[in-house]
Amino acid sequence: MAFDLPNDFRCPISLEIMSDPVILQSGHTFDRVSIQQWIDSGNRTCPITKLPLSENPSLIPNHALRSLISNFAHVSPKESSRPRTQQEHSQSQSQALISTLVSRSSSNASKLESLSRLVRLTKRDSLIRRKVTESGAVRAALDCVDSGNQVLQEKSLSLLLNLSLEDDNKVGLVADGVIRRIVAVLRVGSPDCKAIAATLLTSLAVVEVNKATIGSYPDAISALVSLLRVGNDRERKESATALYALCSFPDNRKRVVDCGSVPILVEAADSGLERAVEVLGLLVKCRGGREEMSKVSGFVEVLVNVLRNGSLKGIQYSLFILNCLCCCSREIVDEVKREGVVEICFGLEDNESEKIRRNATILVHTLLGIPMNS
């Protein structure tokens, strides 16, 4: 017969059956490997009582409990002696790492080590992501973002980004105050931290309610626009991607336009950042966006260049933007014709993308003044 092992046989840190139980000076028992790792990480409090420990705490073997576990193993060998799976091993590791991260007595070095290992564990393991979130480690990670230590900040942002991969965590992270930290990092963080912060915004904006929250947060959009203007290639790409995610929510489009983004996006598109064309493809849907685009000198040339040399998605959005602008301005119609766009559209009639073929046909009808039902 198989029996469930008593909870007292499990280490409070790893939650695994103890193989070498030892008593800490607080009176609580832990598996030697787990508590030693806790101490080696710089912790000087009991993981359970949080009471202070001596500088070199003694670990007294708990022979009685070890004997009980050993005797019980004869009755239930399946539970106590089976090899641990990789997932169980990872979960055991994560518990000790979380304990180090959340402990106020942990040094920055031990927190950094815990964050680095948790980032690796949470990258692909959904169960560990949920475990970290439920453990209260999010608050500790947010404190590390506020620490002013760039290395700690980068690792904690990476951990938060991994946690945000779980849909159930996205709203919770926003409720915990992550947006304030992200905006601060976008303003004054290191280049790597800024890029990760922008990526984290993109991940959070998958949830519709977060798009509204982020868009209305003071300086969130303006910080992204600023990063798009002055950032390096990675920063500009990630900020444009975040703006694209936010602009799928209609109310955010005016906010992005009002931040002076249109000329910056046009310049970015001209330098080869096609994600900027996609953002413009969303902004053109609002009146303010169309008005600002019509004021940018050379904008039509930029879009025509994308039509000739861009990716399928870039071509699709450029056709859409040109059609929207031509529907509102006779002057732009004349400029687009002079750039040879009608001929380009004819050449796209055999394109592999159905959306491009359709958008090219619509634009030709608009430029030539032919009703679509003709």
Write a three-state SS string for 78-92.
HHHHCCCCHHHHHHH
What are the respective helix, strand and coil percentages of the chain, to the nearest 5?
A: 70, 5, 30
- Per-residue pLDDT of 138-182, as tens digits, reads 999 999 999 989 999 999 999 999 999 998 899 999 999 999 999
Q: Residue 73 has what pLDDT?
A: 57
Which residue reads 């103890």 in tokens? 18
pLDDT band at 207 (very low <50, low <70, confident <90, very high): very high
Q: Regarding predicted confidence, which is higher, 81 or 122?
A: 122
Q: Is pLDDT of 77 > 70? A: no
How are strands ordered across the β-sheet holding 60-61?
A: 29-31, 21-23, 60-61
Q: Which of 66-75, 83-92, 242-251 has the lowest mean pLDDT?
A: 83-92
**Distance separating alpha carbons of residues 260 and 233, to the nearest angstrom:** 20
pLDDT digits (tens, 9 = 90+) for 259-297: 999 999 999 999 999 999 999 999 999 999 999 999 999
Q: Which residues of 190-208 are buried (b: 16+ CB within 10 A; e: fewer)?
A: eebbbbbbbbbbbbbbebe
Better-scored residue on pLDDT, 181 or 80: 181
What's the pLDDT band for 5 if we cut at 50, 70, 90? low
**Model pLDDT, residue 362:** 95
Query: Measured at the alpha carbon of residue 71, what is the angle toward residues 69 and 73, in degrees to the nearest 5?
Result: 70
Count of all residues that appear for the chain in the document:
374
Instruction: Give the pLDDT band of residue 125 (cuts 50, 70, 90).
Output: confident
Structure tokens at 87: 């997932």
Q: Tell which residue, 181, 265, 268, has the closest CA to residue 217.
A: 181
Where does the pLDDT of residue 80 fall: very low under 50, low under 70, confident under 90, or very high at 90 and above? very low
* Most confident listed range (11-20, 35-44, 77-86, 189-198): 189-198
